[in-house]
């Protein structure tokens, strides 16, 4: 494990991005770029659960800690990706304390939770390292609850206070949509919701995270005390790189004429 949870607890600000192509190759490329963490997206990404293993294997030799956003907080979805080797889980669209408790139960072994115990899985080196993994799971697995609905704003303190919740992670697109101000991240309602999230996390001694659409906004959100910050994805990097290259080639083509050697 790459000590992501411990680094957050020690007050570090950690940079990450999304992986939504389902590709082990782009996962490895992004992991080698130097991010502290990357998130394999099973909620909106192109990959399925069967693709997670290959991405985790590709990330193993990089410095990036691999996290997985599951489709929902169902117990089986959570502990399956942990058994494959994810170092943390993000659960989207949590609405209330009861749903957050169900999510936490999935990433903690009994007696703290309901995670199934399996020795012959990748994350325990197929049984070789089971005891060490089991004993350290609670201290190492990063539990992330997404703040994306209007309802969840009424339960921030209760959720942040749960043992096993380490990060309240704001999904700005969904949250602004839920508040009726889609994409208006300067709107007072969005700012109020964001501040309430940060304050609840700080009261509980937990961290706050956010996905930035514009990396130039980094100082603003870091200044608010947000310490788990993501921007971009493998799809974004490929698309932006391809468009930039087409634009450059088109610029050269349109500004020059072929040489007539006849």
pLDDT, position 259:
66
Residue numbers of the domain that contains 16: 4-141+211-242
More confident of the two residues 190 and 74: 190
Q: What is the pLDDT of residues 143-157, one digit of tens each?
A: 999 999 999 999 999
Q: Cα dihedral angle (70, 103, 153, 171), rounded to 10 degrees?
A: -20
Mean pLDDT, rounded, for 2-28? 97
Q: Is 54 a catalytic residue?
A: no
Kindly report the backbone phi and psi dihedral angles of residue 115, in degrees, each rounded to the nearest multiple of 5, phi listed first.
Answer: -65, 135
Angle between the 49-59 and 24-32 helix axes, to the nearest 10 degrees?
30
Percent of the chain scoring above 70 in pLDDT: 98
**46 pLDDT above the threshold of 70:** yes
- In a domain, residue 81? The reply is yes
CATH of the domain at 43: 3.20.20.60
pLDDT, position 260:
66
**261 pLDDT above the threshold of 80:** no
Q: Across all residues in the chain, what is the average pLDDT?
A: 96
Grouping H, G, I as helix, E, B as strand and the rest as coil, residue 181 is coil
Residues 6+ apart with CB under 8 A from 18: 38, 39, 41, 45, 211, 230, 232, 233, 234
- In a domain, residue 262? The reply is no
- In a domain, residue 51? The reply is yes
The C-alpha atoms of residue 160 and residue 200 are separated, in whole angstroms, by 6
> pTM for this one?
0.95
More confident of the two residues 259 and 25: 25
**5 pLDDT above the threshold of 60:** yes
Kindly report the number of other CB atoms within 10 A of residue 229's CB atom.
21
Q: Among 41-45, 72-76, 95-99, 129-133, whose mean pLDDT is lowest?
A: 72-76
More confident of the two residues 243 and 79: 243
**262 pLDDT above the threshold of 60:** no
- In a domain, residue 252? The reply is no
- In a domain, residue 177? The reply is no
- In a domain, residue 166? The reply is no
Q: How far is CA 204 from CA 51, 89, 153, 164, 208, in A?
A: 35, 19, 15, 12, 11
- In a domain, residue 62? The reply is yes
Q: Half-sphere exposure of 250 toward its Cβ, with a 13 Å CA cutoff?
A: 6
Q: Which of 44, 73, 79, 155 is catalytic?
A: 44
Q: Quote the Cα angle for 97-99-100, to 5°.
A: 65
- Under a CB-based contact definition with an 8 Å cutoff, are residues 107 and 141 in contact? yes
DSSP state of 91: E
Q: What is the pLDDT of residues 75-95, one digit of tens each?
A: 888 999 999 999 999 999 999
- In a domain, residue 247? The reply is no
Q: What is the pLDDT of residues 181-218, one digit of tens each?
A: 999 999 999 999 999 999 999 999 999 999 999 999 99
pLDDT, position 257:
74
**53 pLDDT above the threshold of 90:** yes
When divided into structural domains, the chain yields a total of 1
**173 pLDDT above the threshold of 80:** yes
Q: How far is CA 139 from CA 28, 39, 189, in A?
A: 26, 20, 35
Mean pLDDT, rounded, for 39-59? 96
**124 pLDDT above the threshold of 70:** yes
């Amino acid at each position: 494990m790459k000590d992501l949870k411990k680094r957050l607890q020690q007050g570090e600000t950690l940079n990450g991005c999304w992986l939504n192509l389902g590709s082990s190759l782009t996962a490895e490329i992004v992991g080698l770029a130097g991010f502290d963490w990357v998130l394999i997206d099973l909620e909106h990404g192109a990959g399925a659960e069967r693709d997670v293993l290959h991405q985790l294997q590709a990330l193993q030799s990089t410095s990036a800690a691999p996290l997985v956003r599951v489709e929902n907080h169902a117990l089986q979805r959570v502990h399956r990706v942990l058994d494959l080797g994810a170092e943390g889980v993000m659960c989207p669209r949590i609405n209330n304390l009861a749903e957050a408790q169900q999510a936490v139960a999935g990433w903690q072994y009994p007696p703290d939770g309901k995670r199934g115990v399996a020795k012959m899985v990748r994350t325990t080196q197929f049984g070789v390292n089971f005891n060490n993994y089991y004993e350290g799971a609670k201290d190492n697995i990063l539990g992330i609850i997404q703040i994306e609905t209007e309802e969840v704003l009424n339960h921030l303190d209760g959720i942040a206070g749960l043992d096993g919740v380490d990060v309240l992670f704001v999904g700005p697109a969904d949250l602004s949509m839920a508040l009726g101000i889609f994409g208006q991240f300067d709107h007072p309602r969005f700012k109020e919701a964001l501040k309430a999230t940060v304050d609840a996390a700080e009261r509980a001694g937990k961290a706050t995270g956010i996905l930035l659409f514009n990396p130039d906004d980094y100082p603003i959100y870091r200044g608010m005390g947000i310490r788990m910050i993501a921007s971009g994805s493998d799809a974004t990097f490929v698309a932006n790189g391809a468009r930039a290259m087409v634009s450059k080639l088109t610029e050269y083509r349109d500004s020059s004429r072929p040489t007539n050697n006849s």
